[in-house]
Amino acid sequence: MFRLNRFYSTMCILVIAAFLFTACAQAGTPAATQPPAQQPTVAAAPTSAGPVKIGLFLPDKKTARYDTKDRPYFEAKMKEICPTCEVISDISNSDPVAQQNAVQQAITNGAKVVAIMAVDTKAAAVIADYAKKAGVPVIAYSRLLQNSDGVTVNIAFALADIGIAQAKSLVEALDKKGITNPKIVMVNGSATDSNMPPIRDGAMTVFQPLIDAGKLTIVKTVDTPDWDPTKAQNEMEQILTETGGKVDGVYVMNDGMASGVMAAFNSAGIKPVPPITGLDAELAAIQRILTGQQYSTVYMPIKAMADKAAEIAYALATTGKVPAGMTGGTINNGSIDVPSVSIPVVNVDKASIKEKIIDSGFWKLDEICTADFLDACKAAGLK
């Protein structure tokens, strides 16, 4: 009996020793390193905690590009970089509170990074502050979030250049018509959008010298809530009533509102419609340019911006850092200097649709030249 007890005791000691040796060996195994920030195209390894979640939040359903360009481009790039990642996306209906709730819900559900194009760039400071407290980096996508130190990086187009291109295009159109001292209207975007003032100020660098020289008159300037096409139409109808329809051209800050402005002229029976500018290179705007209902638009390489946002979002989610060399300077948001990425823009008129829109792959020829626009496409040399 004594020998049997000694045997069991010896076996227990050996088992305990083996267990301790295995545990020590595992504890000494080095942890796997995260992929470096400069290699954002390496996919994150799946973990038992589930996929890496990244949020994308866009402002409204009135602007076609958000659902047809920005979101699909971002999701496609993210899938290319990280097939196992999950994109949580939401397009608000111009409601800052709803957008705030959507972002907070995504963070609650495990989003590691959020990219936000804010409905209201000032009100969105609350969103950035909330994200910072939760330890979640914030990418200001296309619109700078203001007055918060919770913004990690800003990705946007060269805003002043948009206004400059639009204004130069309108002046060019008026010169071609031989109009001296033209009377124009400025239809700006929403006053709650931090992008609006820099675009407007860029345009004024073109207009102001002409105004000072007595060569141009701005008869009315309006800031359109929510960039809403219907509101832009109502504003333009009122202006046409006030001016007796004597408007030579309209500086319009985006294509959606340009459709409303055009509708106001058509409703008033004013033909031909005077030169109208735009922004976003929406499909309907390109078709209006072909038929002479709109003079020009500004093409923003949305894919380039969405791709960069996806790359930075992945890097932040997996390394906590923005890839080296990706930003170029900073922009102050009223609270801090935010590292910024600037994407150049180009103006588009009828003569440059093929080169800048079709050849770039932004819209396909068959998408533009549908049956209703076939004759216009032929006249423009596209068919």
The 10s digit of each residue's pLDDT in 260-293 is 999 999 999 999 999 999 999 999 999 999 999 9
Question: Please, what is the average pLDDT of the chain?
Answer: 89
Give pLDDT tens digits for 4-25. Answer: 343 334 333 333 343 333 333 3
**Cα–Cα–Cα angle for 7, 8, 12, nearest 5°?**
120
- Could you tell me the pLDDT band of residue 50, with boundaries at 50, 70 and 90? confident
Q: How far apart are CA 135 and CA 150, in angstroms?
A: 9
Give pLDDT tens digits for 214-224. Answer: 999 999 999 99
Average pLDDT over residues 170-197: 96
- Could you tell me the pLDDT band of residue 29, with boundaries at 50, 70 and 90? very low
CA dihedral 57→343→158→166, nearest 10 degrees, is -100
**pLDDT value of position 150:** 98
**pLDDT value of position 49:** 61
In the chain, the N- to C-terminal Cα span, in Å, equals 102
Average pLDDT over residues 316-326: 94
Average pLDDT over residues 40-50: 43
**Maximum distance among all Cα pairs of the chain, rounded to whole angstroms:** 119
Average pLDDT over residues 309-335: 95
- Domains (range + CATH), the chain: 53-158+302-343 (3.40.50.2300), 159-300+346-379 (3.40.50.2300)
Percentage of the chain surpassing pLDDT 70? 87
pLDDT at position 131 over 50: yes
Closest listed residue to residue 293, CA positions, set 372, 193, 190: 372
Closest listed residue to residue 140, CA positions, set 279, 322, 301: 322
Give pLDDT tens digits for 166-176. Answer: 999 999 999 99
pLDDT at position 71 over 60: yes
**pLDDT value of position 65:** 93
Average pLDDT over residues 41-53: 56
**pLDDT value of position 138:** 98
**pLDDT value of position 24:** 33
**pLDDT value of position 105:** 98
pLDDT at position 141 over 70: yes
- Could you tell me the pLDDT band of residue 27, with boundaries at 50, 70 and 90? very low
310 with 81: CB under 8 angstroms? yes
Instruction: For residue 34, give the DSSP letter.
Output: P
pTM to 2 decimal places? 0.81
pLDDT at position 367 over 70: yes
194 with 120: CB under 8 angstroms? no
pLDDT at position 380 over 80: yes
Average pLDDT over residues 229-250: 98
Tell me the two tokens of residue 259: 């459709």
pLDDT at position 42 over 70: no
Q: How far apart are CA 148 and CA 333, in angstroms?
A: 7
